[in-house]
Amino acid sequence: MGKYLISLSILISTSVSFAHDACFHVTKKMELADLVEHTACKDLEVGEKKTVNFNESSSPSGIEHKYVLEKTAPNTYKAKINLEFHDTKFISGKPSKLGRRMQARINECLKENNPKLIGPNGEKLTIELVPPAEKHLPEYADIKTSITVDTKPVRRAHSHYYGIKSSCSTVMHELFHLMGLTDEYQEVEYILPFEQDCRSYGPEDSIMSDSSSTSRDGPSGYIMSCMCTKPEGCQTYPQSQFEGQSTCPPDYKLHVMYGSGSPESLKSMFAITRLGTGMMMAAKPIQQILLGVRPSAKTPNSLLYPAHFRAIIFPGCKAKNSIYYKCADESYIRPLKYIQSCSNKPKVCSDPTEWLK
């Protein structure tokens, strides 16, 4: 009996010790997470730099991003990307002629578009490529990214594959991928009929939704309406019941249409589009409810939405990028429709005019 009590005493003592060690490690882990979050959310001092190096598994937005960020003046930032170009004639250690041409091509695009990288509070961002003479320096080793360059026209580029004749809008779209921004368009090619697209869609004037949006100028906005989804028709509602809302009644689906111009002209566009759709349907009345017109939330005269800019300037900061990271999550996940669905996301992710604010 005495032996049993001694053994029990040792067991209890050991269990308490293990519990203490477990609590200690959990506490230390939480302290480390808090430190990482604090560092990610802290604005740089003028002259300070930090290396951003996320691979796909560690990335808060789900895609790799590699660049060196520097604050060069109050509200002014510079991001450097280290691209190593390859082609079929590439000789290791020697930059190819095609690679030099691609570097020059991207520099032209950056010169054209850098003045348009404006933050929500007037901040300015400049993107630069690391020059060939500096690509080998230790400070840029961790952000080196291999890019394949094609001399033939590229139908669909991606962040590691460009064409020498790719448009500047395409180049900028792909460079933003290397800075952590995800695609926002509906996938129609790289998805099978029995798969589900888990992506959150962005507005039409977002460069990550439509790269051609770089050429759009002037005021823009979104016509928000509800469209009946039942061929036999839906219950009718008075227009005034849903004016100013962002949700639709049962059997109606939210429809968002981008347009340029004043709110009055956008409402006229809605009326004309609605009339044309009704005529195409053999004069069958189309059930559509106008919710209202919203101005674009994109920063004026900028290529970037506020959420884009914050994600680049404060990479890894969950406090500042909470909505963006939650909506960007699973952008490239394609689960089977009949086995599992996409994870639940905040309701705001289904509203392309809201989640990038």
HSE on the CB side for 291, CA within 13 Å?
19
Label residue 348 exposed, middle or buried (CB < 10 Å: 0-12, 13-18, 19+): middle
The whole model's pTM is what?
Answer: 0.80
pLDDT the model gives residue 119: 97
> Within this chain, do residues 159 and 50 fall inside the same structural domain, yes or no?
yes
Domain that holds residue 283: 220-295
Contacts 24+ apart (CB under 8 A), 91-95: 95/132
* Domain C-terminal end among 273, 295, 317: 295
User: 252 and 188: one domain?
Assistant: no
- Give a yes or no: residue 215 inside a domain: no
Last residue of a domain, one of 272, 295, 318: 295
* Cβ(356)–Cβ(202) below 8 Å: yes
* 177 and 225 together in one domain: no
Report the number of distinct structural domains present in the chain: 2
- Return per-residue pLDDT of the chain as tens, 357 residues: 444 333 333 333 434 444 455 555 556 555 777 888 999 999 999 999 999 999 999 999 999 999 999 999 999 999 999 999 987 555 455 557 888 999 999 999 999 999 999 999 999 999 999 999 999 999 999 999 999 998 888 888 889 998 888 999 999 999 999 999 999 998 888 888 889 899 999 988 899 998 887 666 556 788 888 889 888 889 988 888 888 887 889 999 888 877 777 777 777 766 666 544 443 444 455 688 888 888 888 998 899 999 999 999 999 999 999 999 999 999 999 888 877 678 888 989 988 889 999
**Could you tell me the two tokens for 275?**
């009339």
How would DSSP label each residue in 14-27? HHHHHHHHHHHHHH
Residue from 62, 81, 104, 51 nearest 160 by CA = 81
Domain co-membership, 226 together with 85:
no
Cα angle 127, 128, 129 (rounded to 5 degrees) comes to: 135
Residues 95 and 110 in one domain: yes
Write the CA distances from 272 to 74, 275, 277, 278, 283, integer angstroms. 47, 5, 9, 10, 14
267 and 315 in one domain?
Answer: no
Give dist(CA 12, CA 15) in Å, integer: 5
Same domain, 256 and 110: no
16 located within any domain: no
The verdict on residue 26 lying in a domain is no
Q: Where does the chain have alpha helices with state H?
A: 2-41, 97-113, 168-177, 263-280, 306-313, 322-328
* pLDDT value at residue 279: 39
| 19 within some domain | no
Question: How far, in Å, are 52, 189, 271 from residue 40 at the CA level?
Answer: 10, 35, 47
Residue 208 forms part of a structural domain: no
Task: State whether 145 and 262 are in the same domain.
Answer: no
Does one domain contain both 61 and 160?
Answer: yes
DSSP character for 273?
H
In a domain, 146, yes or no: yes
Q: Is residue 269 part of a domain?
A: yes
Among candidates 333, 329, 331, 326, which has minimal Cα distance to 347? 326
Comparing CA positions, the residue from 196, 257, 255 lying closest to residue 227 is 255
**Are residue 45 and residue 106 in the same domain, yes or no?**
yes
Tell me which residue has tokens 């979104």: 222
Instruction: Write the CB contacts of 276 (distance below 8 Å, at least 6 apart in sequence).
Output: none
**Same domain, yes or no, for 310 and 269?**
no
In a domain, 10, yes or no: no
What HEC string does 111-163 produce?
A: HHHHHHCECCCCCEEEEEECCHHHCCCHHHHHHEEEEEEECCCCCCCECCEEE
Sorted by sequence, the CB contacts under 8 Å of residue 105 that are 6+ apart come out as 164, 166, 171
Residues 323, 265 within the same domain? no
Expressed in angstroms, the distance from the first to the final Cα of the chain is 70
